[in-house]
Structure 1
């Protein structure tokens, strides 16, 4: 917990918004949110808490009011009632039924507007921008609340707010650290880690699952039954809230033009789509990537088995029959029903019906699906059924045939992709074989040039190629001298784009290059012998690597960097990171070939990386060196001040391109010469075989090209 993240401030009484008029009795929650955020940056924690909590309450209240008004107005102005005021057809005015329909629409609109205005004021006050709405969906208010509560030592509320935010933002590392910190604090209980935004039906369902898993079937029944009741209340509210304004996609409202019935169809299909999505929304919970599968039917699956274990067979039969409304052909559940009926008695079991509320829910949902599929087929309004229990015959035959054709196409594409991946794998294997052959050209194991240097681990022990672990590269005295150089001249964040802690927040890094060291030496800031030692060590590394790997071409420096890292005292608790582990250099990943190419725009690229570590001083000495025979270095200039030349970016790019072209040509010539030398050393029979093989490959490629041309000519003739 970083208590210093917020500027400290004196506690003061909260300045809530005035409530003198009717319109201000229910202030919009975006205004309350902004007031709380301003108070947060002033350190006025009580104002943060009072306004942010009120913003959350007002948002929830607006949701409830809108749902309530739409539900009661639907009941008061239900369709289908005869209109006493209209008894005869009016010539030229349309049918009586149409007039009656629109009269009901207008009455319902008036009812909803009056209801909402009476309870929360004019609707325009509560129109919220998408940005603020997104902040509430991300549960951002709880991030502010947890800090404010922590500042006034309300730990139980701080923990609940932090946990509520983290469940919706599981990748938020700072909040994860805060929660770990809270768990270590005295006075914090496990029950304090609540989800303040949890749906009531979801909380009951999860509690029921816990008791079900522990074989406490009586308690599980209570929670699952409560979950079913809460589910239908939440479903009714969710469906009512779908009856809002038409949601234009981006700026298409500027081009949208439709007649009365087309615009009604578009809007109503959008509403039905939203209502169908309620089953997904209600099956979702914070902290879970995907919604629960078959969520509503699963309640009755748990209930039938819980009632059976409680020897309540009538209720078990009721829940089993209810589950079979969703999946009538499920074999296991039909066997359960047969068993329960045998135990209770066939006649008595037959008289027990499935739950009526579920029957009505399924009937309404299926009617909505039929309308949506009709709109999909006729108007092209896309509908993706969210439920797995929908009978197949609900979808029109043409759509079923189209979906079948789409599945077959998808399967064919998948097969083609699979074949393509096999070809790529073959290419990768061939490429790896070529790389292995080239790698053999580098013959490690050459002389180390210095008696003090010893090989600790070779490439084989390090599980790779062109790797070596050497000991005794520098002496204790030289190491202390480099440490003094770093302490005197190294800058924090040098070489890491100015970031003092680029790898771990628990450590700070400081570094210096050879060029800077020599400049400081010339200025007298550091001893010139220290800068010279740094340069000599870099040169020593280059010579040893050239010799040990028996390279045919010289190595050139990309850069030399002396880096020291220091632990930050207050950030060492509960560390489990690897600080700055040894790693490969950045490169351009070609995933199809399983290769990483060391070329720009990768941040750095080099062929060999030398790291020296010392257990007492805890510093790393990194030297990047590049080989002409491998990849182009960032700079072919050795670290000699007399050779430093200032160039413009354009000149530098031109020089770099020139160097790359030169290096590529040298690489090709070097590889051809090596292949020729290799062929000369092989037996004549092998050489002859290889030459024959090359001729055969050339003929095959030629025939393939001829075959491709013939196919193309045939296609052209057919088109003509």
Structure 2
């Protein structure tokens, strides 16, 4: 995402775009009048969210929230002024049901199996059903998303709608490219040699050849996409999916994503009466930072324009030139696309051939005339003279940089748009004096001149038609309204398809190692469950590290909570503590989502209170003899347990350590143990908050700790401390980034001085956001890192110890401390008949061995003395240099964090075939799941938090093993042979793979990065701290030995 897509910059810059900055004192003639660009005020509407129970009958829940107290007004200026009645600062959340029926009617379900002949082969029918099941396009995804919304399946709703939006963009992009390529003759087509001798037919040839080219192009690339209906296209063009998406994200407590979706919807629907109220709610009540309000549909030229205005305001003239030139370049591309897409506009309103063609031509011309207004809409309304005034910015900025020839060129281009513009005429005179060309005319830019000429000819053509062409004849008109089926009235086969594709999230959790231990029926009361594996060992350890300053409760238990964490963060905002808090918040959200899915309730669970509660050996053993210790740290009398469950409150308890004699016990109505189980890291128990239970407090010096999350079905119960902590963390982020940020050019120059050189750019690598640079490591540094990987490698490191995360025919090798202690050598084993080969088989191919180590394992090994400090330092230094280069090369406006780091070597087995067809690492995206149709979906369980990736290679003395970028069909785009110090960086969505290692050993430092600080790799921070302590200790020991 680009930072200047954000809501806050919109409000800050909106005034600036209507009043251009005055020129320097030396050249008053170059002053730009205030009336050149007017930025409209945003309207006072927002999509309103209702907290109502969504059902076919529209039944309401217990939440009866009043909206009458809210009076929100937004004014333009340096900030937005909002007036809210504090007495009634409640927000209701309107379900998007008011248009649900209409939306469902606009969705066309493509039923490929109907009217089958009696003798049709059954296998053929099954094949079509499989296609229906697996090859979903935006119309079906949108339908499924809306149905999931109606059924209150919020996770499925958000996922389906997001995929629908992405697929629609892909669909439109493909059609646009087909039109452009066909019109430019870039595609071959079978009618290319068509010639006719009859003059009447000659005029048809162009249209026939273009239509044939376009249809072939479309059919080749969009085999599974049905014909788009006008209503469905209108829904997407008006960004209606974002209306559903914001509400579904809201129900999932994804407030930042919901805010961005609401803001994106608002920009296309500023007259929606509820839109502004929603944005105010997200900003003021939920405290979503203004920078998180992002236009998810913003085109590049709009971002460049905003950046240019920002630079203009701060008088950074070179930056103004750079961004406005970028803006112009992309504007021409978007204008070309807009004109090409006008081929799809126009309606057939007559049976007469000539009339139909004429009406379609007029529709096309009208559409092309509207392109300028459409592209001039940066926010909610067209900016007057948007394109023309880009040249005004450039003219003035070039003048400030004393580039008078370029200033003159763009001044002349500006005058093509407004020949009698008084200010620019004066500017031109000043420039003529500067260049000593008093009686000479300047030459305008060719692209601007061509645009103005084409635009004027189009206007003249339309003006003539308006005056002279008879537009309609009632006798010619006929009804061409589309027959659209209500998807809820679908056929039996379609119902099976829809239900068959419903997401079973519990199954997906099971695949990730989370297993249900006991359900309600097993535990003798509803709403009870026990599950293992919600947290991993390292997550439990990280969470326990937070428990340093705790509150002692009257019961003798100890509590750590978000209010306490805020205090500690303010006192000492260490990066390690901050990151641990982020991981805790992530764990809480993860547990909340699982509880919501497991309960399968239509009512959302809001986080009410989060605590880490520790029970340990009590100084006074008799303190709790007359009461029952509870997971929340309280101790209550049995008679105080409610007789019935409370429908509005729920609790989950996730244990952080294993303790003997610290069991959890459910009780029956007589106080006897109903069911009991031990506790260990990652085990989670869920129950109604009014349930009867008891904690067995350990008595032998042990400490029993658990993450306790209490939920409410009432939105007003949302934990304030959690949202305050999130706000504080955001402020810490901004402060830390502002203190450390450096200009990208300065940093890259420093790299260049050290011998780092970019040898392949995105253009060379046939994609966007890609590069290859050499010089990031010396031969000596590469050798040290190779030795660390090879000496400490063991099965499973980097893949959570799973022998084969990708296929049953492979094994992966890395490092863990437990196995390292047992043996520092490779153990022979039998696998695939390889009776003399080690077990370190790659997870992707049985023909290679894999050794690896993560930063987490390196930390543990350093602590136990199995690895020297210089090895860990080398790993940290090289990875940090790579991270910094990636961040600055891509000129990111937000800090880039490590998400995961893995040092790995792949070794070819001696007798492996040199003609192998398998891949060392199959084609994949690092943050998405590659689908059979070539799309890559950002869905669970993909690592969607990853934004960029990089590989630092450590050697070249091997055969094969080339890294390659791939097409969606998994074929190679371009390949790179590794060598020591070579860094390949790319957007994490880029499809890539590794060719088979045929001979020798291939080593690399693999790094994945994120822009979301919540996912930053804590082990990097801990490793730096550990390394400092270890080196300080080694220094003291050395000084002692010298004495």
Q: What interval of TM-score do these two structures reach, taking the shorter chain for normalisation? A: 0.3 to 0.5
Greater relative contact order, per chain length (Cα 8 Å cut-off, separation 6+): 2
Q: Which structure's residues are more often strand, by fraction?
A: 2
Q: Which has the larger radius of gyration?
A: 1
Higher helix share: 1
Q: TM-score, normalised by structure 2?
A: 0.31
TM-score for both structures, normalised by structure 1: 0.45
